[in-house]
Structure 1
Amino acid sequence: MKSFLSEVSQAIYSKHQDNLANVILVLPSKRAATILRNEFLKTVKITSISPVIYSIEEFIEELANLKLVGNIHLLFEFYNLYKQLTPSDQQEDFYSFISWAQTLVQDFNEIDRYLIPPESFFTHLFNIKELDQFHWTNSEDKTDLQKNYLKLWKKMHLYYGKLNEYLSDQGLAYQGALYKQAHENCQQYLQNNATLKHYFIGFNALNTAEQNMFQAFLETGNTTVYWDLDKTFLDQEDHDAGLFLRKYKNTWPYYKTNKFEYISENYKSEKNIEIIGTPKNVGQTKYIGHILEDNQLEASKTAIVLSNESLLTPLLSSLPDSIDIANITSGFPLALTPIGSFFETLLEVWENKSEGTWYYKDLISVLTNPVAQVILNHRNKEVEDLLSAINKDNEVYVTDQQLGHITELNLLFPRQKKLLMSQVIENCLAIIIQLRDRYKIDENALFLEYLFGCYQVFNQLQQFNNTYGSITDIRSLRKVYSATVQLQTVDFKGEPVQGLQIMGMLESRNLDFQSVIISSVNEGILPAGKTHNSFIPLDLKVAFGLPTFKEKDAIYSYHFYRLLQRAKNIYIIYNTEPNSLEGGEKSRLIHQLTMLPQQAHNIVEKIATARIENEKTQLLSIEKDSMLLQSLKNVAQKGFSPTSLTTYIRNPLDFYSRSILGIKEVEEVEETIAANTLGTIVHDTLEFFYKPLEGQFLKLEHLKDMRSKVDEKVRNFFSKTYTSVEKLQGKNLISYHIAKRYIENFLKFEENRLKQGKKIQIIHIEQNIKAEIPVSSLDFKVYLKGKVDRVEMVDQCIQIIDYKTGKAVIKNLEIIGWQDIIEDATYNKAFQILCYALLIHKQTGLNSFKAGIISFKNLQAGVLPFATKDKNGNGAVKEHIIDQEVLDLFSHALEKLIVEIFDKNQNLQEKEIELYG
């Protein structure tokens, strides 16, 4: 089956083969123009002068005799004009201006392309907004806010007129103004070029300026318009794909007596159509790779059309090895490249700088960025030292002085208190130069291409800002940069007529393929839905004939069905992921396709999911070889701590990592103080207060003295352990006051105990004890070590106390079976208490005392005592005394645990992760 452009080239050549030089061809896109030129190469058999081929944008510029102004250039010009038209005390900064100016320019484009009389239009718009505002307040007395609100609408006509005049004086115009001027120049152009034959090829939705010009050209009798549509859609009165062409056929005077050229009947031919739903966006690209691999499609006759062009990167990673040539018609957005996003991050970090300090997360995000590491590659040691110092000193905000004087860091983190925008842009350009030199050494051609794109952006911004001086802060620079890189693309080099074709929906205009794969055919993407990025209300658009979402949906419908017209193998893929911003509901175009099938269409619907093998999780197991056993003996010689043994009970693999390999958690900045850090501060403060009282009876005078020093000491230990109290804010400031409150509540708890008549003697505070644990089956010594928070005598009874800043409850300290205590991590607090009791027993020989926990979150419960329940678990609790019987039973259980640890026939077996109270 011949393609549309092939048929058109042959038809034109057959009419003008003797005089192609007098033929002008106009197409919707540069891509279509390139393909048509290639079709002429195939068609023309003798040496001949080529016809002139324009894209519509190029042809409009030719007619208008003006140059299209770039979007960013336009914003600078507009802002310069805005400042001239606005009193200085009412002017917005560039950042605020951009927020509404971009939308306003889009509306100006629409107004001009559709030849709307501006004075009447803007008068209606202002009256509507004034009426809306009046109903809002139901009052004729307007506030300053309301008056300012109306000023924009009142000045729109002024901005419109002055902007057109201002640009025209420089030989420039925005797109809509180009169309309007081209429309005005049309008759003069036709008079000057009466001998030329014009062909307009493959158009669909025309704005008013285009419609008038096309009809003017047709009336000369020397112009032909070739429409690219199937008769099926033209004849169906309610089919959106033919909405515009039916209108032109029925309303243009020319077609009352002349043929409507080039209506094909290919859609009804035999087609294999697969409609595939698959979850996630990346899942779609993976399935496209599966289609290409399994169906052996001829690559040069196949197109992948990306309705969502952000899927380009995962698609390229999903192409099978059999695809050796691919041509990507749309460039890759510079904003999605590593270099483009790096400068976005850098500008955001510079914007966030406050009073000579850098937020540590901002600092780390730059220093750990792969692009920054290319610059800092010979400074790795200094950067590592800097990051370590930030983590060690818990620096949430890092000063310029702490960054040192590394030249490269001066580029990445400018030290000036107030940066001029010229300096910021020059800084970015200097970074680009350094990166260029490094990438040249590595011969990294792709990243050099990305760099060149960013260089063009910053060079352009530098030129515009030097001319206009509009960017006065980093916030504005970042916004303009973001808008620019979104529009800038890194173009791929390829042969447009060879290999697999990968394109966006607009690039597919006028092109035909044997096999077509269309992705993201979901509502909200294809068609885009009721998006409304405009200041113009819907009813006003309808009244003045401006396009609404109805016309935009019809454009998407046309492009979709035009792709299907001549294709034989069609694969339509949509995202099935529920509640997705980009998917979840299949497009109405799919429903229409399945509800109105053609007789020769073989339509198959299916759901595709990734092949997942549900493998059972294998828990790790480490065999105890001679080296591991020796490491265990070394730990035993130094002494097992209660924490290390409870870690073993919870998960032997964690015990192996921490106690044998010595792997510690990565030290990171605590932006919000961690629970263990708060516990350390409370422990250190109480140690300072109580350590001098060892051997003494606690008195109310002691507590009074302590209370007078709480603020000072908590402040000191907070600064020592975490950070300076003066730097605290938010949750950390609350944590500081919580630490104070914990200490104050504890001292009040102590005071109540004394007032109740209890005699409390402080025996030991934060005492480190190490004692041997006899294990008869082992031929080496095993030690237990621990730091006991407090040992006191209360009314002639020794009591061991363990402080907990977290929540603890009585059930964690009551045990029933002694085997449970070495197998179930639920009893870890009871296990620790018994370890401390055994250590005190080994050190002092005492064999009768109590032990418990003081929970700072549960102080009203007093000392939570250790206890043993009887074996039937009926709730009867023994005395809370830890006597020789209890110590012997625990020693026996502890010995069994240690024997298990050293049993070479029993591997260190990972346990399922569980949560314990």
Structure 2
Amino acid sequence: MEETRDGPPADLGTVIFAGLFGLTGGERQVIRSFWDSGRATVVLSGSPDDWPVLKDLISYLKATVEYKANPGAAPPSIHLHAGQDTHAEVLEAYRILEEGARKKTAIVLPVADPLFPLLNFVVDRTDLRCNISLGHPVDRTALFDLIRHILNARMERRPDGQYPAEEYLAVVLHPFVKNLDPESGLRGLLLHIERALSGETGQSVIADNPLISLAQVEAEAASWAQPPGKTVVPEALSEVHRLLFRNFEGVSTISEVATGLEEALEAIILKTSLHSYVLSGTIFESFLGSLASLKSALFSSDRLSADPALNTRALCDITLDYLGTGTLPFDTHPVEELEVIGVLESRNLSFDRVIILDVNEGVLPGPREVNPVVPLGVFETLGIPPPEFTEAIYRYNFYRLVGSAREVHLVYRGSDDRPRSRYIEELLWKEEKAQGRLDVIPVSQTVLSVNLKRDRQPPVIEKTDAAIRALKTNRLSPSAVDTYVRCPLLYYFTRLMGLEERRTFSGDIDATDRGTIIHSILHETFRPFLGFPLAKDMEDEVRKSLDNALKSHFKNSPASGEYYLFQRIAAYKLDSFLRRHLKTLSEPVIIAYLEERFRADVKIKDDSVTLFGRIDRVDRSTASGRHTVIDYKTGTARQYPSRIMQKTDFGDIKSIHDHVPSFQLPIYMHIFSTQESVPLHSMDAGLFLLGSNSEETFFKSRDELENKRLLDAYTQGIQTVLSHMFDPNEPFSAFDTSRCMDCPARNLCHV
């Protein structure tokens, strides 16, 4: 710009400026200097009447316009395509290429997200010569993901040296890390550490700890019983800790952070099979170059804050922001038969066929940026392009690209949350006005055929003598009986073989842990009142006991937002339950039992089976002496339908499977009655549904005879289930397959 301030260089002749749109202030001055000297020809695409930006440029140059039309050019043939996701859009692009004639084609990507799926599903499957003029964002690579977790772990490190277990695992279980030095046996050790943290290995000092230190992990590794025939080099884990954690604990400058990352990347290059990763050489070269640039920055050796914590966070944030802004370039060539290109890269290029993906609002055009701090008009006053200027550039390039092609395919994602682009609506409306009717451009729906039919049925496992013996020695709880009713195969895999879903570490509290915690708190709440009357006027005493139980249970809980939120919700829910429970007590009751185990034998044919159960609570009425069996449920689901006798044949196992949600309460009543010699006709039972703060009684009628028939029906059902369970002629097989997709054992059944 300095060279043209006093006019264009004398050694330059007439300069042709073509395809201009959306120029910066400096670019406009350069063109103006050539134009004023009469040594410039400006060629624009599009009418200034349609594009205010072009009209403004012409006004700025004080030029007159000479219009030239292309009388032989026919309007493009426009086709619309809808797919449900990125892969459907990519496959539609492949179909268009395969079914159409060979011609110069551009696949235009407004965003780079579909690039790798496009390379896999289109570029690799077609024989068209291809050129890729679009870079892939480095923040979408696996290496950036590892760097992000390394620096996040450093930022989240506590002053006592502990790391969040989730971030620790995210680092060490990254593919680049767990495949370091395959001969050292490191991979197996890291998987053991993951299982130990999740509590899957049994007793471990690090089990379920949300925060861990490197020393604790190394101690766990030292105590690991290694698999036979495999030797783990103990130094391998220490080296991982040094490279990815300890090297960053004392960093105070950008240069030190970059040096630590360089050493980590070099170790990965030397000790892993990088050649098996796509674009690995280009990716690592790009990151190492960026780290070298960071080390040469003017502030690279400076502390950014006197506060160590703020300094560390600033270092890591700056490093991540800088490393994540780049793109991975592909080797480009002159325009080939197939060009994969971005919207801005398509400037001044024309193609016979154009396929544009992701033509949705929020993508094309992108979301409009609104700065609440900057008032309207400030951008224009300062000479800065306003936010709508970017949208104008994309709009212009879109319509120029579409208008210059012979065949245009606009592919969008057809979903309610992502409407198709306004550009499609404008093209559609223009064509509808021209033809005088609606729906002039049909939409081709991309349908991916998915075969939901199972290739094979669940297995049938015979009840061998060994299986029968295992059944007889297996503890039969109400939940075990319910599992068998749901599916004998599920019972076989989980109860007899002891298989369970693989647990992974999570900082969240899973449903099982929540239930255990709530039961423990309720037990501690009512324990001071065990053996004493409980009445509605004792609300203050019981709520105080609840408060003490909550404090006792959560005093050593992890200092995490998840536990804090759970504690507040649990306190609110349990307090609401207690107030409602005491208010609805019609008469004082004595809490006779809390979390007590009971057992009883049940006769089946010529044998007997022992049922076990731990009952949450048993109350005894002070007036009538009637016992009530109570079970707490943290959910809201009711389990004892009111008209179940009309729908269920309790002598048929399939009917029971279809209609009986649970046998828990009748089994509890039976084993309590048997062990404590309490007549069944003087008992009640119910569920306390804490999720909805409601109760469900087992007996729905006030008619004692009707209640007896109901209990007799359930008793017959228990006999039916147990007889089927111990019948050697009834194999372990699924009653039906309607619930298989929600079953935790579906992978074991191969369905």
* Superposition TM-score, scaled by structure 2 size: 0.74
Alignment partners' CA distance in 2, 1:446 and 1:431: 19
Alignment partners' CA distance in 1, 2:152 and 2:43: 49
Match of 2:120 in 1: 317
Match of 1:671 in 2: 508
Once the two structures are superposed, what CA deviation does each residue of 1:843-882 show, in whole Å capped at 9, x if it has no partner?
6776556444476668xx999875475xxxxx634387x7
Once the two structures are superposed, what CA deviation does each residue of 1:101-123 show, in whole Å capped at 9, x if it has no partner?
xxxxxxxxxxxxxxxxxxxxxxx
Higher helix share: 1
Alignment partners' CA distance in 2, 1:807 and 1:543: 60
Q: What letter is aligned with 1:435?
A: I
RMSD, aligned CA: 5.0
Match of 1:446 in 2: 279
Match of 1:341 in 2: 145
Alignment partners' CA distance in 1, 2:74 and 2:421: 31
Alignment partners' CA distance in 2, 1:550 and 1:736: 49
Change (3 A) 1:774 1:459: same
Shift of 1:555: 3.5
Match of 1:386 in 2: 193
Q: What letter is aligned with 1:785?
A: F
Q: What letter is aligned with 1:394?
A: D
Runs of at least 5 residues in structure 1 that lack an aligned partner in the other structure: 1-178, 870-874
Q: What letter is aligned with 1:500?
A: L
Q: Secondary structure at the match of 2:431?
A: helix
Residues 61-100 of structure 1 mapped to structure 2, 5 A cutoff? none
Which of residues 183, 192, 215 in structure 2 aligns to 1:401? 215
Alignment partners' CA distance in 1, 2:361 and 2:673: 74
Once the two structures are superposed, what CA deviation does each residue of 1:535-565 show, in whole Å capped at 9, x if it has no partner?
8755355567765466555543442343345
Q: What letter is aligned with 2:284?
A: L
Match of 2:734 in 1: 908
Alignment partners' CA distance in 1, 2:85 and 2:162: 41
Which of residues 443, 467, 484 in structure 2 aligns to 1:607? 443
Please state if 1:307 is matched with 2:307: no
Residues 739-818 of structure 1 mapped to structure 2, 5 A cutoff? 766-769=596-599, 771-775=601-605, 782-788=609-615, 799=627, 801-804=629-632, 806=634, 812=640, 817=645
Q: What letter is aligned with 1:318?
A: F
Match of 1:33 in 2: none
Match of 1:103 in 2: none
Match of 1:7 in 2: none
Match of 2:335 in 1: 497
Shift of 1:797: 5.8
Residues 664-743 of structure 1 mapped to structure 2, 5 A cutoff? 664-667=500-503, 668-669=505-506, 671-672=508-509, 674-682=513-521, 685=524, 714=549, 718=553, 724-725=556-557, 730-734=564-568
Once the two structures are superposed, what CA deviation does each residue of 1:249-306 show, in whole Å capped at 9, x if it has no partner?
67746x67xx96x9561673364332445454544333212211111333xx211122
Which of residues 377, 385, 388 in structure 2 aligns to 1:539? 377
Which of residues 481, 489, 496 in structure 2 aligns to 1:645? 481
Alignment partners' CA distance in 1, 2:277 and 2:679: 74
Q: Tell me if structure 2 keeps the 8 A contact 1:625–1:904.
A: no
Match of 1:287 in 2: 92
Q: Tell me if structure 2 keeps the 8 A contact 1:710–1:744.
A: no
Alignment partners' CA distance in 1, 2:639 and 2:297: 72
Q: What letter is aligned with 2:556?
A: S
Once the two structures are superposed, what CA deviation does each residue of 1:612-638 show, in whole Å capped at 9, x if it has no partner?
557676698545443578535522442
Q: Secondary structure at the match of 1:381?
A: helix
Which sits farther off after the overlay, 361-370 or 664-673? 664-673
Change (3 A) 1:912 1:584: farther
Alignment partners' CA distance in 2, 1:322 and 1:331: 21
Alignment partners' CA distance in 2, 1:459 and 1:541: 36
Change (3 A) 1:912 1:675: farther
Q: Tell me if structure 2 keeps the 8 A contact 1:307–1:525.
A: yes
Please state if 1:190 is matched with 2:9: yes
Alignment partners' CA distance in 1, 2:179 and 2:413: 38
Which of residues 399, 412, 417 in structure 1 aligns to 2:244? 412
Overall identity of the aligned pairs, in %: 17
Residues 215-614 of structure 1 mapped to structure 2, 5 A cutoff? 215-218=32-35, 223-225=39-41, 227=43, 229=45, 233-234=46-47, 238-240=49-51, 243=52, 252=61, 263=68, 265=70, 268-269=73-74, 271-298=76-103, 301-319=104-122, 321-323=125-127, 325-355=129-159, 356-375=161-180, 378-392=185-199, 393-404=207-218, 406-414=238-246, 419-421=251-253, 422-439=255-272, 442=275, 444=277, 446-464=279-297, 467=300, 469=302, 471-472=304-305, 473-528=311-366, 531=369, 538-542=376-380, 547-548=385-386, 552-564=390-402, 566-580=404-418, 583=420, 585-587=422-424, 590-591=427-428, 594=431, 605-613=441-449
Q: What letter is aligned with 2:431?
A: T
Alignment partners' CA distance in 1, 2:54 and 2:695: 87
Alignment partners' CA distance in 1, 2:610 and 2:372: 77
Q: Tell me if structure 1 keeps the 8 A contact 2:181–2:272.
A: no
Q: Tell me if structure 2 keeps the 8 A contact 1:760–1:792.
A: yes
Match of 1:878 in 2: 705
Shift of 1:713: 9.4
Change (3 A) 1:538 1:380: same
Alignment partners' CA distance in 1, 2:361 and 2:644: 62
Alignment partners' CA distance in 1, 2:82 and 2:609: 63
Q: What letter is aligned with 2:722?
A: I
Alignment partners' CA distance in 1, 2:508 and 2:321: 33
Q: Which has the higher contact order (CA 8 A, sep 6+)?
A: 2
Q: What letter is aligned with 2:632?
A: K
Q: Secondary structure at the match of 1:389?
A: helix
Change (3 A) 1:844 1:436: same
Q: Secondary structure at the match of 1:773?
A: strand
Runs of at least 5 residues in structure 2 that lack an aligned partner in the other structure: 200-206, 219-236, 306-310, 743-751
Q: Tell me if structure 1 keeps the 8 A contact 2:132–2:339.
A: yes
Alignment partners' CA distance in 2, 1:573 and 1:813: 51
Once the two structures are superposed, what CA deviation does each residue of 1:298-347 show, in whole Å capped at 9, x if it has no partner?
3xx21112223333223223316224532111221111212123323332
User: How many corresponding residue pairs?
Assistant: 684
Q: What letter is aligned with 2:121?
A: S
Alignment partners' CA distance in 2, 1:628 and 1:742: 51
Q: Tell me if structure 1 keeps the 8 A contact 2:595–2:614.
A: no
Shift of 1:798: 7.9
Shift of 1:731: 2.9
Which of residues 824, 830, 835 in structure 1 aligns to 2:667? 835
Once the two structures are superposed, what CA deviation does each residue of 1:67-90 show, in whole Å capped at 9, x if it has no partner?
xxxxxxxxxxxxxxxxxxxxxxxx
Change (3 A) 1:406 1:523: same
Alignment partners' CA distance in 2, 1:897 and 1:280: 46
Shift of 1:589: 5.4
Q: Tell me if structure 2 keeps the 8 A contact 1:622–1:908.
A: yes
Change (3 A) 1:672 1:853: farther
Alignment partners' CA distance in 2, 1:310 and 1:811: 47
Alignment partners' CA distance in 2, 1:726 and 1:205: 55
Change (3 A) 1:458 1:770: farther
Alignment partners' CA distance in 2, 1:809 and 1:545: 63
Q: Tell me if structure 2 keeps the 8 A contact 1:307–1:520.
A: yes
